Chain A
Amino acid sequence: MVGRRRIREALTDLLLAGPATLAMLVLIFAPALIVGVLSFTDYLFGAPDFNWVGFENYRKLFTDETGRRAVVNTLIYVAVVMPFSIMLSLAAAVGIQSVGRWNVWLANFLRTAYFLPVAATLVAMATVWQMLLHPNLGLVNQVLALVNLPGQEWLSDRSLVLFTLAVIGIWETVGYNLILFLAGLATIPQSLYDAAEIDGANRGWEKFWTVTWPMLGPTTLFVLVVTATRSFRVFETVATLTNGGPGFASDVLVFAMYREGFVYFKAGYSGAITMVFFFFILTLTLTQLRIVERKVHYQ
């Protein structure tokens, strides 16, 4: 009897998880495997045949100037976006939460305002940014001129463009992280704050360091992982605003992947970039989960 029940349970499990698993295997793992195999060839999209080239595509990605620049640019972008978007969203979350204590309406309004960039289509928003940052007509430079500061060519100055995109990236991720932090803040029991107060932590900062920050550990870890993967995947702003230019100054991994594969038709090389990208994301996620998780669990 027990055995029969087990089988039935197993069948139910299979029925529940099976279709999604199958879809994942067919739609994600199989194509990823094919891309992995292609990355060792010189296959050109639409070509009748290809040659095996071993690690040539990978060697090129890290030695060729254009390839290396895409890798370095991506790392710079992530290094700027991650800390700023996390710090800003945490500060905003703590602020909005305390605003919520005396004015719920305002807190809701702020929350919606911060979340708008996440809900809006980034491509459409990018067009708005393009107008704002226009060197002659844009609002940003006009405001700068009002206070006698020189205008900048935000999207066409090679030393500036990556940071402009990073600021847009921060603007885009802050709202998303904010919602996560707010959810995290809501789960901190009031009793902990009361206890801290009894122990002498009266000022806001003391409460933050002794209660809020440690209790937000799991949330922060999650936000870290999400922000890292999101910023590694940066593509829409690059594709709509700069096309990787001027002169490859804002070329990033995913855009290079698209360009090599779909504009240059170099499926093999594009496959190699995809693999490197996979590897980055995988290591990042694993290290964060393995190392950081040990230090942030309290239950």
Chain B
Amino acid sequence: MKKFLIAAAALSVFGFSAAQAETTVRVHYAHPNLWKNVQEKIAQGFMAENPGIKIVLDAPAKTYAEGAQELLRGAVAKKLPDIAYVGLNRWRILEARKLTVALDPLIGDPAKFEAMGYTPALRSLGQYKGKQYAVAASASTLVIYVNPDLVKKAGGSMENFPRDFDGLIALATKISALGPNIDGVWVAAHDWRFQSMLGSYGGRPMNEDETAITFDSPAGISAATLYSRFSKEAGMKKYGGNEARQAFAAGVLGIYIDSSSYLTRMVEGAGDRFKVTVEPFIVAAKDKSSVYFPTGGSAIVMFTKDKAKQEAAWKYMLYATGPEGAKLVVENSGYAPTNAIVLKDKKYLGDFYAKNENSRRAHAQVAAYSGPWYAYPGSEGVAVTDLIGAALVEIVEGADPAAKMKALADTVRGKLNMK
């Protein structure tokens, strides 16, 4: 009996410690002001369910851009974490350097994966050339923030908020006419915003296999013309994002078009001055199936090549992007969920959406129209996005949209060696 007890004790101690020390998964993330709480809650929730796996959160990077730098430095120093949260437009940088692990063997049966809430639209955010390298963890698309007071003053109403660009520009023009310091509309001269308008017209920046630039198509010229019309007809100012948010919060900008992830900040900024209202972005194309909105946010990629660690890390990725993780993300960050189950099953976020009509609208748009945020391939890939921004600035200042987009497309083709 004694012997048995000792053996049992020894066994349990041994078994316990073995389970404790089994696997450690190191996780990198960025934007601590947005993510710290969420990350800690996800890690704690996961470890409570999986006592054999220990999650270690690395000290977070300040932004996704700095996070990407840190990971590249880590690759040079051979100190990469096992998995990392990266910007949805940045995981390709890591993939191009062959640092990320293809996840298809871990996913196994695609039908089963889809049943877990990973729809084709959501999967597309982390796919390249038919392989899955990243799993989206939070999402945002372009939405319209409206100051209902200014809309009313200009003779419009939120019930009849315009659902096409002509109506939107007409409304913005009226708001702009309210006073010398009142602005109608603002949107950044920026690659992602432009890609969203392009997608609204059913266009794409590149062809399917990324060998040709296609943003000088009729859809692209229509999208660029919007910038020109915002400026010429509705008197859009040229200020930057910070100034626009300040103006909107102060109640002197009627319509602010930007990422849905700004929602919390915009509502806080406006305070009691007015009730910030989110409208879904405008779908311009007649063929709705061609429309998509490039999706910002984050995705998780895997670096570890160790089989045991891969298993544990994959378990964690599924937990963090599954209904439990998605619920935490939505409740704490202002981002939209990247798991279809939480949108369908009311038991996860039903209460939250009942209280947050703005979030519900923004998130419904992600579920309906999310598509990849195209990152241009190659060493000049990031640089050309700034060239696109610069061309849009010129269009806002009065350059001819069609001519400018054609010239820009040619410049970009030259830089990227494309057709």
Binding site for B on A (CB under 8 A): 42, 44-48, 66, 130-131, 134-137, 153, 155-158, 242-243, 245-248, 259-260, 262-266
Contact = CB atoms under 8 A, between A and B. Distances in A.
Q: Is the interface of A mostly helix, strand, loop or mixed?
A: loop
Nearest to A259: B386
A140 to B, nearest CB: 13
Given A46-B97, A266-B383, A153 B237 contact: yes
A131 B97 contact: no
Given A245-B389, A245-B390, A265-B382, A45 B237 contact: no
Contact of B238 (A134, A136, A246, A264): A246
A72 to B, nearest CB: 16
B87 to A, nearest CB: 12
A47 B76 CA distance: 8
Contacts of A45: 69, 72
A156 B393 CA distance: 10
A262 B66 CA distance: 8
Contacts of B379: 42, 44, 264-266
Given A46-B72, A135-B237, A248 B386 contact: yes
Nearest to A145: B180
Nearest to A268: B379
A245 B240 contact: yes
A135 B94 CA distance: 40
A135 B183 CA distance: 11
Nearest to A243: B240
A219 B224 CA distance: 54
A156 to B, nearest CB: 4
Which residue of B71, B240, B243, B387 has the most chain A CB atoms within 10 A of its CB atom?
A: B243
Contacts of B237: 135-136, 153, 156
Contacts of B99: 46
B397 A158 contact: yes
6 contacts: A46-B73, A46-B75, A48-B98, A136-B237, A136-B252, A264-B383
B160 interface: no
B382 A246 contact: no
Contacts, number: 91
A263 B239 contact: no
Nearest to B181: A136
B98 A137 contact: no
B393 to A, nearest CB: 4
B243 A134 contact: yes
Contact of A130 (B242, B250, B386, B393): B242
Interface in B86-145: 93-94, 97-99
Contacts of A156: 237-240, 243
A48 to B, nearest CB: 7
B97 A248 contact: no
B72 A135 contact: no
A69 to B, nearest CB: 10
Interface in B245-259: 246-247, 250, 252-253
A46 B98 CA distance: 10
A243 B65 CA distance: 14
B382 A264 contact: yes
Interface string B381-395: 011001101110110
Given A46-B76, A153-B237, A246-B238, A158 B65 contact: no
Given A134-B247, A137-B250, A242 B390 contact: no
Contacts of B239: 134-135, 153, 155-156
B245 to A, nearest CB: 11
Contacts of B181: 136-137
Given A137-B250, A157-B238, A248-B390, 19 more contacts: A46-B99, A47-B97, A136-B247, A136-B252, A137-B247, A153-B237, A153-B238, A155-B240, A156-B240, A158-B393, A242-B240, A245-B240, A245-B390, A246-B240, A247-B393, A264-B380, A264-B382, A265-B72, A265-B382
Contacts of A248: 386, 390
B414 to A, nearest CB: 11
A274 B408 CA distance: 28
A48 B94 CA distance: 11
A150 B380 CA distance: 40
A44 B380 CA distance: 10
A247 B189 CA distance: 9
A157 to B, nearest CB: 7
Contacts of A42: 379
A237 B91 CA distance: 30
A44 B379 CA distance: 7
Nearest to B390: A247
Contacts of A264: 379-380, 382-383
B238 A263 contact: no
B238 A262 contact: no
A259 B393 CA distance: 19
B272 to A, nearest CB: 18
Contacts of A246: 189, 238, 240, 390, 393
